[in-house]
Amino acid sequence: MATPRLPDFLQSVNLKHVKLGYHYLITHLLTLSLLPLIAVVFIQASQMDYDDVYQLYLHLQYNLAAVVVFSTVLVFGCTVYVLTRPRPVYLVDYCCYRPPDHLQAPFHRFMEHSKLTGDFDESSLEFQRKILERSGLGEETCVPAAMHCVPPQPSMSAAREEAETVMFGALDNLFGSTNVKPKDIGILVVNCSLFNPTPSLSAMIVNKYKLRGNIKTFNLGGMGCSAGVISLDLAKDMLQVHRNTYAVVVSTENITQNWYFGNKKSMLIPNCLFRVGGAAVLLSNKPADRGRSKYKLVHVVRTHRGSDDAAFKCVYQEQDGMGKTGVSLSKDLMAIAGQALKANITTMGPLVLPISEQLLFFTTLVGRKLLNPKMKPYIPDFKLAFEHFCIHAGGRGVIDELEKNLQLSEEHVEASRMTLHRFGNTSSSSIWYELGYTEAKGRMKKGNRVWQIAFGSGFKCNSAVWEALRNVKASGHSPWADCIHRYPVKILN
């Protein structure tokens, strides 16, 4: 007679439900522990009669000094808390620039123009063709008007025209949709890495919209694709100082004067990935704006790896051997991005992860230190902290790596892949196109949390966490308004 075997718990028990039960138990452990105490207090209170209440009153009356001291300390503590706590920062609305169709650069036209310039040899042309085919970009991404000319005309005036068209296009929609007057803006932060004219881009906006004379303006340059989150952080800090005001953040990049016309392979990749785009964001610290705002800013976490030489030079603007300027991407870029992400989530994890995930992570860490250094590290499940992920659409490889390392589903990275396909790498503004995609799909519900992750030269990894204040629907000015019915699309390998 065969010996009866123990049941296969891996097959008979849904471990997913076991883990969810564990997370629920640990997350609500304090509440569950207090329930018996609350029940006892309620039972005792229900058994008190008039004499018991009167005796309690007399006891407090004869201890008037203690009651007064306690009340004073309580009021003082509450006052200090109210005055020193950070002011909430609300995202009233945002707008992304939607380039006109005549700026689209389908692959065949891109390659034809690249050949006609006469600057690229056959090897460079073939390299660009392969990058385009494997990049995850679609046929509708846009390049600036100067790049459609044969030969291209990357002049200063053309670069200014590109900047004005993108920034003013986004801002016009933003002011129109929010009914906020430009004179009401107290803080303006603009970021653009590679185009920094004099007067600055922020001054161009002040001049265009006749903003008030005492406005606090900032112009951030050279900070890469993660500069949008840096601008948010700066605006948030300014809103802690200046009461009852609005802040506008404008994130963009300028391509016109930063196209590379040489044959160094590592400097040709940006030509194939970067496209026209920009976003304008309206922030407020006014309590009255909570009701009409879309999101509340919960956390901003910034990580800088610039002290490491390899990280510092992995995205580097330089001249090639022929004196032609471009941005070089290191072959170690993905590994460095992974290290920056690890440092960023190590800081952010305790702020957003449920206590159940933190306990599992801490237990595994102690086990590796004390018992077995080869023990597999525990990867926290960030899906328990966020419903939506906006991963910078820097390239197909970036999205693939984060999907793998954070154990995300295809739906979690759908917004990033579709943004890369439809609009390309729009640098610091890509996370806003991705948020717009999620809204256009009707997936943003009240209470949902969003994690915006951006990488940039330096090397930096920055994160912003938002909480939806209502069910957010796509606005009429959404860049996805006319095409969301076509997405998601299948990305060919």
Rounded CA separation 267/310 (Å): 17
Rounded CA separation 372/103 (Å): 57
- Mean pLDDT over each residue of the chain, to the nearest integer: 88
The predicted-structure confidence for 316-370, as pLDDT tens digits, reads as follows: 999 999 999 999 999 999 999 989 998 898 888 888 888 878 787 777 777 777 7
Confidence class for position 57, pLDDT limits 50, 70, 90: low
Confidence class for position 377, pLDDT limits 50, 70, 90: low
Amino acid making up residue 418: M
Q: Which CATH superfamily is domain 89-486 in?
A: Thiolase/Chalcone synthase (3.40.47.10)
Q: Residue 386 pLDDT more than 90? A: yes
Q: Residue 301 pLDDT more than 90? A: yes
**CA distances, 66 to each of 3, 70, 79, 116, 377 (Å):** 72, 6, 20, 88, 53
* Lookup: tokens for 308: 């490491």
447 contacts 420 by C-beta, under 8 angstroms: no
Rounded CA separation 117/110 (Å): 11
Rounded CA separation 408/117 (Å): 42
Considering the entire predicted model, what is its pTM?
Answer: 0.85
Which pLDDT does position 60 carry in this prediction?
64
Q: Which of 5-14, 37-46, 94-103, 259-268 is the least confident region?
A: 5-14
Where along the chain do its domains lie? Answer: 89-486
The predicted-structure confidence for 393-438, as pLDDT tens digits, reads as follows: 999 989 999 999 888 999 999 999 999 999 999 999 999 999 999 9
| Residues known to be catalytic | 225, 304, 388, 392, 421, 425
The predicted-structure confidence for 447-486, as pLDDT tens digits, reads as follows: 999 999 999 998 999 999 999 999 999 888 899 998 999 9
Continuous H helices in 62-193: 64-84, 107-117, 122-134, 156-178
* Helix orientation angle between 201-209 and 156-178, rounded to the nearest 10 degrees: 50
Per-residue pLDDT averaged across 141-158, rounded?
94
